[in-house]
Chain A
Amino acid sequence: MGIQAWTWIIVGVTFAAYIYIGYISRVSSTKGFYVAGQGVPAIANGAATAADWMSAASFISMAGLISFMGYDGVVYLMGWTGGYVLLALLLAPFLRKFGQYTVPDFVGARYYSKTARVVAAVAAIFVSFTYVAGQMAGVGVAFGRFLEIPFEMGVGIGMVIVAFFAVLGGMKGITYTQVAQYCVLIFAYTVPAIAIALVLTGNPVPQIAIEEILPKLDAIQRDLGLTAYSSPFSNLSMLNVFCITLCLMAGTAGLPHVIVRFYTVKSVKAARWSAFWALLFIGILYTTAPAVAMFAKYYMLNQFAELGPDIVNQSWVQNWAATGLIQIPEGGIQTADQFLAAVNRDIIVLATPEIANLPNVVVALVAAGGLAAALSTASGLLLVISSSLAHDIYGSVINPEATEKRRLFVGRMMIFLAVVLAGFLGIYPLGFVAEVVAFAFGLAAASFFPIIVLGIFWKRANKEGAIAGMSIGLAFTFIMIALMRAQNVIPGMDEPVIDSFMGINAQGIGVIGMLLNFAITVGVSMATSAPPASVQDLVEEVRYPQASSDEDV
């Protein structure tokens, strides 16, 4: 059977499974809708968090990026895993103890301010929307490449599927569907990697096989006149690698759709354990990705070393050239540099099984995995958007008297509207949206992360400090990114206003925003009066898994 037939079968079966799971876990209460009734077991929540976390970008683009960055790819590998250490140690158990529905809930209560809550809700909506548009576009691309249906129709199918289980099942439906999606995506990612590792080295574990491949890859790169794959700082300076890694870590811990997962578990203990399971499940993909990156680079450069300019006649090169994702320059490909410049980074994961001559069914599996990754992330983000609108803005500010039934109805309406809007953003992307997605981490690191950490660990942090810190951190980061990317963000500009801020580029600038936020929150809090006693008691309370009582020693 051909790739397309296999893709239809595998995608059909997995989608039927998602819809079935969404249907059996439908809910009828707001608690079920927003936090799955706080009854999700730690390991299931870990798998759901992992699926939520690993987007189309992690699945499809990351290995390709690393493949071309060599060592410098550590910014993504460590940035997107190390953040879970911060999350597990500094945020998850305490937010679970606090036990409301959303991140703005915590901000509002801890900083005793409706303004802070609305600001947090708006920031959550902004970050999530920019992120979700990219997922919907990813769904369209995956459908378009493998099923050869129009891009718009691909996005449409994705919208219908997500709307079905998200509107019906809320967080509960989303969580259990994500567990299934995690299984699909991790299977689809590791099977080709194991097959290639076995073919190349005889060892099925990709993480071990790289020990044999890396020296060979370094040697080929040197022979072809490139810098060795493993040599550090060939694309980014040490300062930038440092800042981008730290920015992605803190941003991960500050993203609302990740934090909210820890509200859905049964207990504080379960929150700690589900952070562990999540990082373990994510780690499986993130330690395999660098292996995939090396295998792909090794195959491509090996073929180039053998064939030279004739590589353009290879069938995989021809197939991808037809889609425009390999662009052969006029005069053909003469040098390794030209060859690498011709290949779009996004095709690495999708093309490697083809380059390695794996069976068609494996190639189809990768397509289903990419769709699972995109859909699971999109659904988690849509729930954050819906809860921010329906719970934090409608339920607490516009109509606090609303009944349970009414709130649930508004929640469902909002998620439906968010799906439709996200779909349109996927089909008709706004230039600045695409640009901001890449920087959602910087914005999250500069806004949420510092005030939540200080809110938990420092009783003295007050309303004035948090509002000042959050707004200045966010504004600084946003303005810096806009200036450094002026050609894409500000109309009428065709080059950046500034290249970098003291050597730090746009991806890492969130670190400075975060430090500013910390400093200003502390400074302003010290200069103004302490928060009320009730708030200090709340902070005291979230530190202990079990409620206090006067009998305690």
Chain B
Amino acid sequence: MSEPAIAISNLNKSYRLVGTRSQFATLKSALLKRDLQLAPEASVPALKDISFVVDRGEAFGIIGRNGSGKSTMLKIISGILKPTSGTVNVHGRIAALIELGAGFHPEITGRENVYINGIMLGLSRREIDARFDRIIEFAGIGEFLDQPVKTYSSGMYVRLGFAVAVHVDPDILLIDEVLSVGDEEFSQKCVAKIQEMKYRGVTLIFVTHQLDQVRNLCDRALWLDHGEAEAIGDPRRVVDAYLQQVSGVRQAPPPVEEEPKPEAAKSEEAPEEERWGSGEVILRRVALTDDKGRELVALGAGTPVTIEIDVEVRAAQTDFVFGIGMYHADGTCVYGTNTDLEGLVPEKLDANGRVRFVMPSLDLVAGAYRIDAAVHTRNGRAFDYRRGCIRFVVGSRVHDTGVYRPKHSWKFDGGIDVRAIDTLTKNVPAPIAEAIRETESQKPPKRR
């Protein structure tokens, strides 16, 4: 079980340049010498010395400009193309959403095409029988099912293709830009289905230009530039590095002060803060404080807290967004927002200042949490992104589960009654119990 879903090492791929070598010579050398190695002058490199590993159940994004080798990468993983050199090891059944409905025959009905497409993707006839109703329901093509596929609208065509591919129950799903086709309703349905598959432990490989999807859906990302791995690791960081470079083509940004080493992102569980950005605006200090301005590292559930951010402006900006993200130690996003989402339009950012994010009560379940704070442009290019700049623990008298604890109380009527004991001594570690006593003593003893 420990072997990764996909392991790629020292992968190189070159395409033959058409016309530099006669076709007959190619045929001859393939037949006689089994030799598809290409002379450097007769070929263009598409991928250069790429190595990475994707674990089972991981969502892995591949980004980069057009022609950077993303689709070639996907075709090599799926086995459609062979690497020129290097090794590719894939474990598990693959379904590739490279072109939806590839292999549909226009003259025969949707029903017959579902069977043929399913068999092409590796299902048996019986397995398709078992999935047929779910496929049709997902595709939502109604009475067109028994019409030839040539009568379908392009939307119906794509829906049917997607429906078949995702019901193959692959171990690895390769997705090439397909989430951008179809109407809004359908792409939401696709994203929901993909999230469901991720939840069930399917390994996902995305190739996309929709960077939000990479940020939201992926656990790691690879940025390819001219066939080389420019960065690999945390998706926000990789996407941001990519955006920096893309925007740098248009306007040279000021020298980056704290340029992160993208490779460092590989050690994912590092407890230290990760930080990246172009540095025109700096988040000098980020702190979690109580209502009297004292910094906190441990707090009880329901305490009023403020995130204080001291901002240093090195170059005035007109396009800026402040954002906050709160995460449980296991990576679950508890809450995330930013000024843009809440309709706060940037007016000015031309001198140092302080931003405060005030929460009258932070209703979290006991556990360890971290906070990300960022200032970035509205399209997501970071000036300063501080991941895990605050780490804090929430203590609680009660060992309840989850992340959010709504304000609540239990009421019993009739023949039901209970007796309360002090849970603090029962199931809370000593340092946290101490922190709870401390924060509770600061609060006016107020019930309900």
To the question of whether A and B form a pair in one complex, the answer is: no
Interface residues, chain A, with chain B CB atoms under 8 Å away: none
Interface residues, chain B, with chain A CB atoms under 8 Å away: none
